[in-house]
A and B are shown apart, each in its own frame.
Chain A
Amino acid sequence: MENKLKKTCLHAEHVALGAKMSPFAGYDMPIQYTSIAEEHNAVRNKCGVFDVSHMGEIIISGPDAEKFMNYIFTGDVSKLSEGQCIYGMLLFPDGGTVDDLLVYKEYRKDHYLLVVNAANLDKDYRWIKDNSEGFIVNIVNDSDNWGQLAVQGRDSEAILGKILNQDLSAVASFRFIDTFIDSNRVIISRTGYTGEDGFEVYAAPDIIVDLWKALLEAGVTPCGLGCRDTLRFEAGFPLYGHELSQEISPVVAGLSIFCNLDKEEFIGKDAISAQKANPPAKKIVGIELADRAIPRAGYPVLLEDGSVTGEVTTGYRSITLDKSICFALVDRSAGAMGATLYIQIHRKIFPGTVVKKRFYQTNYKK
């Protein structure tokens, strides 16, 4: 059974650059152009650009938009000013995660833009719709009207600012501005998923294609989804389906800070409160190995006596740190900081130490 893969507005550019393409969330996406390590290092040291046009955009508006957002989302949108965005989750009533996302409070009264994982877009849209009864809101899946680039790395501000003829130094972290190219709206947001300073740019597909070409011409390295994963992993960020899922709540993932329990009510609040009072059996931890062997998602994590305590959720030979590290979902009792756990890799067993999940210290502009 062969499903037809969707293409982003930049698909032809990827193919022309000779990218290794692979299916991701229903799209034919670039995994790498030259090498994952080279692209990874470009972002850590200079500037790289990712096509993330597969991400979903859902617009919620209407007189009850603020109240509705606070009901379906873990963060408190009442605290946002226009031009600000916030990271958080949509939760099931039992605290399991529907998705993690960014919510933008637009420069328009009662308008919110939700940027969600491509693989979860249809599920999220249905879930939001299903929970909207009694609220006066419009819910629009606007994804097809948007392309998205992530411009990441310390040179992003200068290079992107020059191309857009904008002083981006005034845009603080988790803030955004609207600008216009030929009367087309362009959102420039100081956010990212790499642990470096950078921007995410949303615009109509043809604007995105022009911007992509201008960035490459300015010497920015095209980066595929391969290094998007190695970068976010080193910076300690979760990936839905690995460190967050219907079974992995924000409390299990160690991300309960993104659930604002001071809010009156949101879906999943009671479950999160209960989990915080009485921690769940499992948790996500970081593990560092002394050996060069590489832990991969799904490999078993063992206790000293050989019994299974969990499994790896993401693992790599870290490109920046040159260490074998992973996230793993393990028994809370076994996952204390500094504890020794064992990972089975092929036919051998390697000891590792529980460490902080933020393996790499992020470099944001204050």
Chain B
Amino acid sequence: MSKIIEGLLYSESHEWVKVDGKVAIIGVTDFAQSEMGDITYVDLPSKDDDITKDEDFGALESVKASSELLCPVSGTIVAVNEKLEDAPELINEDPYANWIIKVEMSDASELNSLLTAAAYAEIIK
């Protein structure tokens, strides 16, 4: 059973969003990391890049496969978790503690299109 945390918002492409004022903290779900297996590389974007909702902002790479990361909100990337460059396995160890990017949102109403924990639990059933 994959872990889902109450209070976060979720995308159908298995990213989670924690809202902190105008900033969306974004990572991938436990379901995503367990489907991927051992993550060997995280392709990260650059800080200060503008990003549009549903655009890819990077990729997770496992031994076998590459999976694009899609941004659940639009805005500007204000922080990138550089720890993941040398320790991509942190995503496997705790996907909720190890965020990937922080985005200053340009349109907070986009959050309304994301899933609640309960709704996300339904789609990964």
Asked if B63 contacts A230 (CB within 8 A), the reply is yes
Q: Can you spell out 18 A-B residue pairs with CB atoms less than 8 angstroms apart?
A: A20-B37, A31-B64, A35-B37, A35-B38, A36-B38, A37-B38, A226-B64, A292-B40, A292-B41, A293-B41, A293-B43, A316-B63, A317-B41, A317-B61, A317-B63, A346-B43, A346-B58, A346-B66
Chain B residue numbers with a CB within 8 Å of A319 are 63
User: Nearest Cβ distance between residue A119 and chain B, in whole angstroms?
Assistant: 18
- In the complex, whether A296 has a CB less than 8 A from a CB of chain B is yes
- In the complex, whether B110 has a CB less than 8 A from a CB of chain A is no
List A residues 68-124 near B (Cβ within 8 Å).
none
Chain A contact-residue range equals 10 to 19
A-B contact count (CB 8 A): 39
The dominant DSSP class at the A interface is mixed
User: Nearest Cβ distance between residue B82 and chain A, in whole angstroms?
Assistant: 12
Asked if B66 contacts A296 (CB within 8 A), the reply is yes
Asked if A32 contacts B66 (CB within 8 A), the reply is no
- In the complex, whether A349 has a CB less than 8 A from a CB of chain B is no
**A226-B63 contact in complex given A35-B38, A36-B38, C-beta closer than 8 Å:** yes
Asked if A317 contacts B64 (CB within 8 A), the reply is no
- In the complex, whether A248 has a CB less than 8 A from a CB of chain B is no
Chain A residue numbers with a CB within 8 Å of B48 are none
**A294-B64 contact in complex given A32-B37, A345-B43, A346-B59, C-beta closer than 8 Å:** no
- Cα separation A322 to B8 with both chains bound (whole Å): 35
The dominant DSSP class at the B interface is strand
- Cα separation A316 to B58 with both chains bound (whole Å): 18
Chain B contact-residue range equals 10 to 19
Chain A residue numbers with a CB within 8 Å of B88 are 292
Asked if A36 contacts B41 (CB within 8 A), the reply is no
- Cα separation A346 to B61 with both chains bound (whole Å): 11
Chain A residue numbers with a CB within 8 Å of B64 are 31, 36, 226
- Cα separation A292 to B60 with both chains bound (whole Å): 12
Chain B residue numbers with a CB within 8 Å of A226 are 63-64
- Per-residue contact bits, chain A 168-188, to B (CB 8 Å; 1 contact, 0 not): 000000000000000000000
- Cα separation A293 to B43 with both chains bound (whole Å): 7
A20-B37, A31-B64, A317-B61 are known contacts; what are 14 more A-B pairs with Cβ within 8 Å? A35-B37, A36-B38, A37-B38, A292-B41, A292-B85, A293-B41, A294-B40, A294-B61, A296-B66, A317-B41, A319-B63, A346-B43, A346-B58, A346-B66
